[in-house]
Structure 1
Amino acid sequence: MHSTLKASVIISTYNQPEWLDLVLHSYSTQTNKAFEIIIADDGSDERTKEVVDNFKKSKDLLVKYIWQKDEGFQKTKILNKAIGLSGTDYLIFTDGDCIARNDFVENHLRRRRKNNALSGGYFKLTEAISFLVNKAIIDSQECFDKNWLIAHGQPKSFKLNKLTRSKLKSRVLNMFTPTKATFDGMNASCWKSDILAVNGFDERMQYGGEDREVGERMMNNGIRFLQVRYSTICVHLHHKRPYKNESAERRNLEIRKATKKHKTTYTKFGINKD
C-alpha cells in the first residue's frame, strides 16, 4: 500500500468521454490530494482511454485504469475488479458523470468512522447547464454556486441546499433529512475490509439498485450507514439512460428481496467465486 494515500476514488464510466474529462479535472482541484483514482470502465471505446491517458500525463495524481469488454451493463463486475486493484484501505465510489466539489475527498475522509459507511447524494444539473460546464467553471467552483446556477436557468428548489458550504447547516440537514442512508454508487464510501467481508458487488445484477444491494448486505453484516448528502458534494451532468431494462430491474428486486428476507451478508456471485 502507498503509505501517503488515504483513499481510492473508484469512478465507473461507460462511453461518456467528454463528461469523464470534466469529472477527472474536478479531482485535480481537491483540497486533499491523498488519494488514487481508479477508472472502472465497463467497455467504452478508445476515446475514454485517450481522456484517461491525457489526464495522467498532465496531472500529478496516481491514476489506474481498468477496462472490460462491452457485454451490456456489467458495472458490478468492473467495480469488483476495481476494488481488487485498489491500494488503500478506504474506498470512495462515484460515477463518471458526477463532478466533485473541491472538498469532496476531504469530507469523505474527515467523516469516515470504523464500522460505518458514508451515504452521499448528488445535485442534478439541467441539460442546458451541463453543457455550459467547462474546466474553467470547475476551477472557479461556479457549478457548485446556487446563484450562478439560478442565473443560468437552474430551477429554484429546496435541493439547492445540497450545495451549502456551511458546516453547521450541512450537519443539521444531514441529521434531519428523511432520506435513508444507503449505498448509492454515485457518492458513497466505506472501508475496503467491510466491502470485502460481504464479497463485493453481486455480479448477477445489472442496472437498478445493484449498488443498494451491496450496502444492504453490509448493513446485515453490522455496518452502519451515515448520512452525508449535505457534506460530500457532487453535481450530476445530464444524460440519457439507454441501459435501463425492466426485466433486469425485476431480477435485481428479487435478489434484494432475498437479501432482506434472509439477512444475507455474503454473495457467492461477488469478488471470490468459490
Structure 2
Amino acid sequence: MKITVIISAHRKGRELECVLTGYAQQTRRPDQIIIAQDGVDPSIGAAINALRLRGVPLPPLLHQMQEQHGFGKFRALNRAILAASGELLLFTDGDCIPRDDFVERYVRLMQPGMFLAGGSHVSIPEAYHERHDLLAAIGDQRVFDYAFLSAIPGFRKNANRLTRNRRLARLMDWLTPRNAFSGSNSCAWREDVLAVGGFDEAMAYGGGDLNIGLRLNHIGIRGVRARHTLVSLHLDHERSYYCAEKEKANHDWNRHVRRHRLVLPRVSQIRQMETPRLSLAQLVQVL
C-alpha cells in the first residue's frame, strides 16, 4: 500500500523546512510527497533546496505551483490529488510538523470505508517559533516532549495529547469521537476522494475541509477521529486572510450539502477531468 502526503503551502518557507524535516524522521516513510503551492512565492522552493543541500533524506517529492487568484488552496489540492500515486492520501499543511510515527500510525489505522482525522491543533505559539530554530529539536524529536513544550510561554495543552502510549492514546480517541475531516491532519482513500470529485474550489477559507468530509459521508465513508494517536505540531500564526462573512457563507453551504446529501462539489477540476464512478455499495448509501 502506497501513501502520498499532500502538503498545502502558500508562503512560509521557514515553516515548510521544519515540516519536511519532520517527514525525513518518519518510521514509515511516505511513498510520495506533493507540495501543493498556491502562488509562486520563492521561499517554498528555497526551503526544499535548502533541505536537499543539507542532504536531508526526503521521499520522492513533487512541487506543484499555480498562479494565485484569490484563495486557491482547494484548487491546488485537487491538482495534487490528480498527480498522486498513492492509494492513501494524507492531507496536511505547510506549517504542521509530524511526529516520527505520524505516517506509520495513519497506515496502521486506515481501513476501507473510512477517512481518518487527527483533529484539532497542538500549537507552538508564533512568538516562540519565530525566535527559535526548531530544526535540531525536530531531528531528535524532543520538540514533541511535553516537558519541552510546556516550558514555552503560551503553550496550553494537556500532556495526554502528546502521549506515545498507544493504548492510552486509543482510549482517549474513543472518548473524544468526531466525524469531521481536518484539512491539516486527515487521510482518505484516493478512490473515495475521486468519487466525490475532490475539494470544492468555490469555497473560501473556513469550512472547506468539513465540506469534503460531509460529501464522503454521503457515499458511505465514515469519519474517525484519532487526535491523540496522530500527533503533529502546528506553528501558530495570525490569520489576516480570515473573513467572517465568507466563513458564514461556507457554513451555510455546508448546511445545504448536509440537508440535501450532496456528493459532488460545485467547482472542481477533478469533476471536470474525471467522471467519478461510485461503487454499488456507495450508490446504495447515496440512494
TM-score by length of structure 2 reads 0.89
What corresponds to 1:152 in structure 2? 152
Runs of 4 or more consecutive aligned structure 1 residues displaced over 6 Å after TM superposition: none
Shift of 1:250: 2.3
What corresponds to 1:12 in structure 2? 8
Counterpart CA distance in 1 for 2:69 and 2:50 is 26
Give the alignment partner of residue 64 of structure 1, picking from 49, 62, 65.
62
Matches within 5 A, 1:207-218: 207-218=205-216
Aligned residue identity for 2:29? K
1:147-180 deviation per Cα after TM superposition (whole angstroms, max 9, x unaligned):
111233354543x321110001101100001x52
Counterpart CA distance in 2 for 1:143 and 1:129 is 12
Assess if the C-alpha contact under 8 Å between 2:137 and 2:143 holds in 1. Answer: yes
What corresponds to 2:87 in structure 1? 89
Shift of 1:256: 0.6
Give the alignment partner of residue 22 of structure 1, picking from 18, 24, 27.
18
1:6-62 deviation per Cα after TM superposition (whole angstroms, max 9, x unaligned):
200000011111101111111000011142110010114112112123335533410
Does the alignment pair 1:272 with 2:268? no
Counterpart CA distance in 2 for 1:224 and 1:35 is 25
Matches within 5 A, 1:31-180: 31-56=27-52, 58=55, 59-121=57-119, 122-131=121-130, 132-158=132-158, 160-177=159-176, 180=178
1:12 is paired with a residue of what secondary structure?
strand
Counterpart CA distance in 1 for 2:17 and 2:101 is 19
Structure 1 residues 74 and 12, CA, compared in 2 at 3 Å: closer, same or farther? Answer: same
Larger mean CA deviation between 19-28 and 237-246 belongs to 237-246
Structure 1 residues 154 and 250, CA, compared in 2 at 3 Å: closer, same or farther? Answer: closer
Gaps of 5+ in 2: 274-287
Gaps of 5+ in 1: none
Structure 1 residues 8 and 262, CA, compared in 2 at 3 Å: closer, same or farther? Answer: same
Counterpart CA distance in 2 for 1:157 and 1:68 is 36
Counterpart CA distance in 1 for 2:66 and 2:111 is 33
Counterpart CA distance in 2 for 1:161 and 1:41 is 33
Assess if the C-alpha contact under 8 Å between 1:199 and 1:268 holds in 2. Answer: no
Does the alignment pair 1:250 with 2:280? no
Assess if the C-alpha contact under 8 Å between 1:129 and 1:149 holds in 2. Answer: no
1:190 is paired with a residue of what secondary structure?
strand
Assess if the C-alpha contact under 8 Å between 1:133 and 1:143 holds in 2. Answer: no
1:138 is paired with a residue of what secondary structure?
helix
Does the alignment pair 1:236 with 2:230? no
Counterpart CA distance in 2 for 1:115 and 1:21 is 34
Assess if the C-alpha contact under 8 Å between 1:23 and 1:96 holds in 2. Answer: yes
1:272 is paired with a residue of what secondary structure?
helix
Give the alignment partner of residue 220 of structure 1, picking from 214, 218, 225.
218
Superposition RMSD in Å: 1.6
Assess if the C-alpha contact under 8 Å between 2:7 and 2:94 holds in 1. Answer: yes
1:209-244 deviation per Cα after TM superposition (whole angstroms, max 9, x unaligned):
101100100011100111211111000002111211
Counterpart CA distance in 1 for 2:66 and 2:112 is 33
Counterpart CA distance in 2 for 1:222 and 1:56 is 42
For these two proteins, the number of residue pairs brought into alignment is: 268
2:271 is paired with a residue of what secondary structure?
coil
Query: % of aligned pairs identical?
Result: 34
TM-score by length of structure 1 reads 0.93
